[in-house]
């Protein structure tokens, strides 16, 4: 398998590479930096993909990096690091004489419009409510294989993931330290939906997608089954319980807005109720179907 990453070196990429190797697959990483078992984006643009069964794109500048100001330049980096890498792979697949059987682009549930009441399956409409949703729309559309639709041997799977909870990266580690000092609490009203998935379940789902050839295609929502009812407040409660620390304080919405700005604050102060309908229908079963099971395992 060739697993891409401007991402192979990242939080999800490292975990997925390890799982694929454990399952006996061979992994090549696409990165900005050359290295062992790595090729660069320039190599792919120039020479195409090496012979492989599947490609997964996990590249992307961290949108919620609080150290980066939300300038036009940073927005462009956020966009280009996803869309240009996706396009590079799409082009390479189109021009390959022996294309991979599977092409997986990992995007986000930010595709669906934020709402406290609406529930979304993979069939729901979205892609036009804010910066993030339009980014996901363009990112997924860059993954399409135009001109070869219906003729190509390659099957495209779009995996829309929620917040990925893991020990070694993503949002969770930065959320933990306030709790250690008994300073943890909800963000804003706490009523915003909290779509999430355990890193191990996401990587298992990506393997399932690659290995279940012919059974899985189109869009898959990568969120835990309980995520449709989980909120920022229920996550805060479960985290507080798992850590044995009180969650007495709260961060007011204006503080989040001051830190992240008006384009990014909604990513924390709003959310989507997402159902993994097609994911479950594809025969996938979750190891961590609710917050207690996920957080107890991660904080053990």
**Using CB under 6 A as the criterion, which residues of the chain lie in contact with ligand NDP when the complex forms?**
5-7, 9-13, 31-33, 58-62, 77, 81-82, 106, 108, 161, 163-164, 169-171
Are 218 and 278 in contact, with CB atoms under 8 Å apart?
yes
Q: Which is nearer to ligand NDP, 104 or 238 (CB)?
A: 104
Q: Which is nearer to ligand NDP, 21 or 182 (CB)?
A: 21
Q: Which is nearer to ligand NDP, 84 or 292 (CB)?
A: 84
Q: Which is nearer to ligand NDP, 216 or 223 (CB)?
A: 223
Min dist CB 11 to ligand NDP, Å, is 4
Say how far apart CA 249 and CA 267 lie, in whole Å.
20
Pick from 127, 161, 141, 143: which is nearest to 10 by CA?
161
Min dist CB 150 to ligand NDP, Å, is 28
Q: Which DSSP state fits 21?
A: H
Q: How far is CA 219 from the centre of its chain?
A: 13
Q: Which is nearer to ligand NDP, 15 or 102 (CB)?
A: 15
**CB-nearest residue to ligand NDP:** 10
Min dist CB 110 to ligand NDP, Å, is 7
Burial status of residue 69 (CB atoms within 10 A of its CB: 0-12, 13-18, 19 or more): exposed
Pick from 35, 31, 33: which is nearest to 3 by CA?
31
Min dist CB 213 to ligand NDP, Å, is 23
Say how far apart CA 91 and CA 100 lie, in whole Å.
13
Q: Which is nearer to ligand NDP, 38 or 191 (CB)?
A: 38
Q: How far is CA 204 from the centre of its chain?
A: 13
Min dist CB 229 to ligand NDP, Å, is 20
3-state DSSP helix/strand/coil percent for the chain, to nearest 5?
Answer: 40, 15, 40
Min dist CB 205 to ligand NDP, Å, is 13
């Amino acid at each position: 398998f060739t697993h891409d990453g401007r991402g192979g070196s990242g939080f999800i990429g490292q975990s997925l590479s390890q799982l694929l190797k454990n399952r006996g697959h061979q992994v090549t990483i696409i990165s900005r930096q050359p290295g062992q078992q790595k090729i660069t984006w320039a190599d792919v643009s120039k020479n195409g993909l090496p012979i492989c069964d599947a490609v997964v794109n996990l590249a992307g500048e961290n949108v919620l990096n609080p150290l980066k100001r939300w300038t036009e330049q940073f927005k462009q980096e956020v966009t280009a690091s996803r869309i240009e890498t996706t396009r590079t792979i799409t082009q390479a697949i189109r021009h390959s004489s022996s294309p991979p059987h599977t092409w997986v682009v990992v995007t986000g549930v930010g595709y669906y419009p934020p709402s406290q009441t609406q529930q979304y399956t993979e069939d729901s409409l979205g892609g036009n409510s804010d910066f993030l949703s339009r980014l996901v729309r363009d990112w997924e559309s860059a993954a399409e294989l135009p001109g070869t639709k219906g003729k190509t041997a390659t099957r495209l799977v779009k995996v829309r993931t929620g917040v990925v909870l893991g020990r070694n990266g993503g949002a969770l580690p930065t959320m933990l330290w306030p709790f250690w000092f008994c300073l943890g609490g909800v963000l804003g009203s706490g009523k915003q939906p909290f779509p999430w998935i355990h890193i191990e379940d996401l990587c298992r789902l990506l393997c399932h997608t690659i290995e279940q050839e012919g059974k899985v295609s189109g869009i898959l929502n990568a969120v835990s089954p309980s995520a449709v009812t989980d909120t920022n407040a229920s996550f805060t409660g479960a985290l507080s319980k798992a850590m044995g620390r009180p969650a007495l304080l709260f961060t007011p919405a204006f503080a989040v807005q001051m830190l992240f700005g008006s384009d990014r604050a909604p990513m924390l102060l709003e959310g989507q109720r997402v159902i993994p309908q097609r994911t479950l229908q594809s025969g996938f079963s979750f190891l961590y179907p609710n917050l207690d099971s996920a957080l107890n395992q991660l904080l053990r």
